[in-house]
């Protein structure tokens, strides 16, 4: 199978992109088996994934890129979508959390045309204890929902109920943290490319007729040097981030992809 690329418009996140690429390939294979039928099973099993970490670090963009490359039916949700609104409560029209979840996924199944469903639930921590209603879907105990693959994001993993994080549920957990210096340069170049496409692609004369490459090269290093000054650096230990992947005393700046967009 040809390797999928999740790098076109997303800088940094090398390890996370690898994990999401492998999952996208597994979902693609799952889709193929659904179409062909005959009881054929995929070679590798797609997993439900949790992307967690500080805001603005690319969790949602990564989840969307994975869904796009998996070529399934994309369901874009937010944990707030499942909350019960006060006006619904007083009007006597409020559904319980389980009913809301199942009605949303039932509609998705009917619209998906037999394809696998990649369900992004952004800010899943907003569901609170109601996240427990997802367990039967995540476990695969109800065959009706076996085509659903969940990608959840949160800024606060500690707010999730423990049951969601057990094996076979959100079993694949990836910390999406602040970029290191190399990743920040890559992100800066991607942002500048996007800015050029948006502002100057059809009007290059607006910026001295620079090509996209010339435009990016002119500003990327200058912006990167500004953002990586020592005064902006902080260690993982100071951030309170614990992971066996990082040296707690390693320093990095707190700029994210979202910050770079604002600066540009």
Q: How many helices (H) and strands (E) does the chain have?
A: 9, 7
Closest to 78 measured CA to CA, from 130, 131, 124: 124
Average pLDDT value for residue range 62-76: 84
Q: Across the strands, what pairs with 251? A: 235
Mean pLDDT for the chain overall = 78
Q: Is it the case that residue 66 has pLDDT exceeding 60?
A: yes
pLDDT digits (tens, 9 = 90+) for 4-41: 455 455 666 778 888 888 888 888 888 877 777 655 56
pLDDT digits (tens, 9 = 90+) for 165-200: 888 888 888 888 878 788 888 888 988 988 888 887
Give the pLDDT confidence score for residue 245 in this predicted structure. Answer: 65
pLDDT digits (tens, 9 = 90+) for 107-127: 999 998 888 888 989 998 888
Q: Is it the case that residue 87 has pLDDT exceeding 50?
A: no
The Cα-based distances of 62 to 8, 76, 106, 176, 183 in angstroms read 11, 13, 25, 10, 15
pTM (2 d.p.): 0.74
Closest to 44 measured CA to CA, from 29, 65, 66, 63: 29
Two tokens at 103?
């009605």
Give the pLDDT confidence score for residue 2 in this predicted structure. Answer: 44
pLDDT digits (tens, 9 = 90+) for 196-213: 888 877 776 777 778 888
Give the pLDDT confidence score for residue 4 in this predicted structure. Answer: 47
Please measure the distance between the N-terminal and C-terminal CA atoms of the chain and give it in whole angstroms. 38
Q: Across the strands, what pairs with 172? A: 49
pLDDT band, very low/low/confident/very high, at 226 (cuts 50, 70, 90): confident
Q: Is 132 left (phi over 0), alpha (psi -120 to 50) or beta?
A: alpha
């Amino acid at each position: 199978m040809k390797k999928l690329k999740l790098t076109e418009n997303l800088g940094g996140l090398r390890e996370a992109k690898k994990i999401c690429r492998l999952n996208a390939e597994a979902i693609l294979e799952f889709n193929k088996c659904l179409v062909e039928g005959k009881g054929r099973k995929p070679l590798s099993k797609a997993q439900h994934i949790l992307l967690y970490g500080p805001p603005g670090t690319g969790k949602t963009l990564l989840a969307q890129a994975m869904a796009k490359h998996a070529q399934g039916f994309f369901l874009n949700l937010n944990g707030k979508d499942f909350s019960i609104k006060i006006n619904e409560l007083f009007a006597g029209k409020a559904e319980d959390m389980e009913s809301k979840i199942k009605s949303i996924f039932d509609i998705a199944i009917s619209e998906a045309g037999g394809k696998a469903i990649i369900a992004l639930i952004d800010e899943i921590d907003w569901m609170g204890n109601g996240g427990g209603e997802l367990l039967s879907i995540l476990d695969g105990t109800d065959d009706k929902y076996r085509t659903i693959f969940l990608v959840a994001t949160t800024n606060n993993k500690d707010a999730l109920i423990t049951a969601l994080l057990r094996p076979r549920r959100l079993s694949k957990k990836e910390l999406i943290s602040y970029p290191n210096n190399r990743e920040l340069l890559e992100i800066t170049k991607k942002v500048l490319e996007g800015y050029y496409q948006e502002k100057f692609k059809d009007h290059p004369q607006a910026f001295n007729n620079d090509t996209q490459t010339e435009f990016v090269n002119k500003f990327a290093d200058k912006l990167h040097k500004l953002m990586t000054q020592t005064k902006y650096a902080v260690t993982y230990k100071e951030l309170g981030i614990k992971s066996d992947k990082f040296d707690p005393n390693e320093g990095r700046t707190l700029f994210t992809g979202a910050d770079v967009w604002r600066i540009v």
